[in-house]
Amino acid sequence: MRKRPASTIDPSKIQTAAFVIEEELLRHNLGVLKYVMDKTGVKMYQALKTWATWPLFPITREYLDGTEVSSLNEARLGYDEFNHEVHMYAPAYKDEEFADILKYCSTIIFNSFEQWKKFKPLVEQFVKDTGMKRECGLRINPEYLGKEESGGLWTPCAPGSRLGIRISEFKATLKENPKALDGISGFHFHIFWDKTFDELQDAVEVVEKNFGDYFAQVQWINFGGGQKISDDDYDVEGLVKLVNSFQKKHDVIVHMEPGAAIVKNAGALVASVLDVVYRDDVDYKIAILDMSFNAHTPDFLLSGELDMPVTGAKIIHDEKELKNYKNVYQLAGGTCVTGDKLGHFHSFAKPLKAGDKVIMEDGIQYNLVQCTMFNGVQHPSIVLWKGGKSEMIREFTYEDYRSRMG
Ligand SMILES: Cc1ncc(COP(=O)(O)O)c(C=O)c1O
């Protein structure tokens, strides 16, 4: 497997604030995914909820089969800008959107037997009227929490989760109506966030144990996303082996919907220091940046526990330890919201001053898609870093802000 190239972003060539995607690193990640595809025949779909910068779809399309979407807007973007292999899953579908969903999506995955029963006649009618192929699937909930997780925000199988059909309900429905799976081509599960291969292996075992009896009735099983396949320490060969043996054993094709694995560590959020504020009641200084954590990195704040890696800086969590480090800063956003700051600290080699650039590594996944213009703060531009040069993909203006406000 090719080694991950080092980042080459030169912040002096970036007009901030900007989400900077590095083509070489993006292609590295995609190359790892393609290797798995070539060795197994697994189908891979780009999860648009993680990153949907469509002007770069011509790159991701070189490697992947299509898109995985969760809303009508994502479906349309996938259809218009990627290709017509659009796989949709949503916890529930809206009556008034379903005709368009049928138009844009080649595969529709339902979250419950009730939803499947409700929309099945519309799927059948669409296929009859157009002669086009549409596949339907069901999301199953294997009730597997992962090795360390006990449930919570990012655990789709936590007790009480609304996502996927649990085995008790699955069996009860089939007992009542043995034909409930007629017209279903596959099952889908998504149980992870940023997980290692070991956990996928364990999860697949649980899925096989609970739902394996029904695999003979379908053609594909979708393993979802959440696997850090492109990380340097991911057991890629283990994944190849697992997928190959699973496909052979059950006579199905495995689908995967990587999101983070495509763009993880393949880009940064680059910002400039606008001012440095000194306070005599704390052991750190505050660097105010030309971006906002609230508006531009909501995932970091929502998760609470996520670290923000910054090039050339060491992360410190414990405020009591700050005295032992030099040049310690709290990075803060430029909005006037008190909480627009990181909960951990960064120690830099040199003191920060206005105009210095800060590279927040791995800044793309789940940030760019969730960005807002809250407080009227400027939306970071989107830049491609290629061959030592920056190429502007999109700049945002006052009109973008205005058009969202009314
Ligand atoms: C159904 C589904 N598929 C795929 C993904 C992508 O996951 P990741 O970006 O962790 O690979 C998600 C993320 O939440 C998801 O909910």
pLDDT in tens, 114-124: 999 999 999 99
What is the best residue among 29, 33, 43, 50 to mutate for testing ligand 1's pocket, by most ligand atoms within 8 Å of CB? 50
Tokens of 349: 């080699």
Cα 339 to Cα 358: distance, rounded to the nearest angstrom: 20
Residue where the block lists tokens 């600290």: 345
Find, among 362, 348, 188, the residue nearest to 266 by Cα. 362
Cβ-contact 126, 102 below 8 angstroms: yes
Whether residue 391 has pLDDT greater than 90: yes
Q: How far is ligand 1, taken at its centre, from the CA of residue 65, in Å?
A: 16
Cα 390 to Cα 114: distance, rounded to the nearest angstrom: 50
Whether residue 360 has pLDDT greater than 90: yes
**Residue 258 CA: which ligand 1 atom is closest?**
11
Angle at the Cα of 320 from the Cα atoms of 299 and 327, rounded to 5 degrees: 75
Angle at the Cα of 370 from the Cα atoms of 366 and 375, rounded to 5 degrees: 140
Show Cβ contacts of residue 406 under 8 Å, excluding neighbours closer than 6 positions: none
What is the reported pLDDT for 1? 65
Whether residue 149 has pLDDT greater than 70: no
What is the reported pLDDT for 34? 98
- In the chain, % of residues over pLDDT 70: 97
- H/E run at residue 261: helix 260-263
Tokens of 303: 């998760």
**Residue 156 CA: which ligand 1 atom is closest?**
16
What is the reported pLDDT for 193? 75
Q: How far is ligand 1, taken at its centre, from the CA of residue 48, in Å?
A: 9
Mean pLDDT of 29-49: 98
Using omega within 30 degrees of 0 as the cis cutoff, is the peptide bond preceding 17 cis? yes
217, HSE (Cβ side, Cα atoms, 13 Å): 16
What is the reported pLDDT for 150? 56
What is the reported pLDDT for 145? 80
**Backbone phi, psi, residue 368, to 5°:** -55, -40
The domains found in the chain, sorted by start residue, are 23-263 (3.20.20.10), 267-363+371-405 (2.40.37.10)
Tokens of 291: 């971006």
Cα 9 to Cα 385: distance, rounded to the nearest angstrom: 7
Cα 16 to Cα 25: distance, rounded to the nearest angstrom: 21
Find, among 167, 239, 134, the residue nearest to 197 by Cα. 239
Whether residue 153 has pLDDT greater than 70: no
Q: How far is ligand 1, taken at its centre, from the CA of residue 252, in Å?
A: 21
Mean pLDDT of 173-198: 92
What is the best residue among 43, 49, 370 to mutate for testing ligand 1's pocket, by most ligand atoms within 8 Å of CB? 49
Q: What is the mean pLDDT of the chain?
A: 95
Nearest-CA residue for atom 12 of ligand 1:
225
Within 6 A (CB) of ligand 1 lie: 47, 49-50, 68, 89, 190, 193, 224-226, 257-261
Whether residue 108 has pLDDT greater than 70: yes
Cα 221 to Cα 138: distance, rounded to the nearest angstrom: 10
